[in-house]
A = this chain, B = another copy of it.
Amino acid sequence: MNSFEALIADLHAFVREREWEQFHDPKNLAMALGSEVGELMAELRWVRSEQVDAHVADADKRKRLAAELGDVGILLVLLAERMNIVLLEAMRTKLEENRRKYPVEAARGRAERPGGGG
């Protein structure tokens, strides 16, 4: 079993031991995912683009950012699992769609969505 699958199994055990399945319907989990992404954004909200790499290089701030990334990842896995969607397959499928949607020659050096950044 590779490490991602092992982590998923451990997350299931964590939830089951605490009898938290009752709170984990798809709507609740999606909302919890939204709140965790909010916490992640809170870490970077007042940092301007030109300072963000220095910010992220700071040991204390990296630790906080890693903790928030971990929370987001856990909620994302729990949500996918709850809906019986295999997250890695969903990501792989989306990557293939994006390859078709943004051919290399047309997309090179341009922000992904015309209206989103030009």
Contact = CB atoms under 8 A, between A and B. Distances in A.
Interface of A: 2-4, 7, 10-11, 14, 17-20, 22-23, 25-28, 30-53, 55-56, 58, 60-62, 64-67, 69-74, 76-77, 79-80, 83, 85, 87-95, 97-99, 102, 104, 107-109, 111-113, 115-118
Contacts of A19: 108-109
Q: Which 10 A-B pairs have the closest CB atoms?
A: A38-B38, A46-B117, A70-B94, A2-B2, A70-B90, A35-B42, A46-B111, A49-B49, A48-B49, A31-B45
How many copies of this protein are present in the complex?
A: 4
A61 B92 contact: no
Contact of A62 (B83, B89, B118): B83
Contact of A10 (B50, B79, B95): B95
A27 B116 CA distance: 12
Nearest to A43: B116
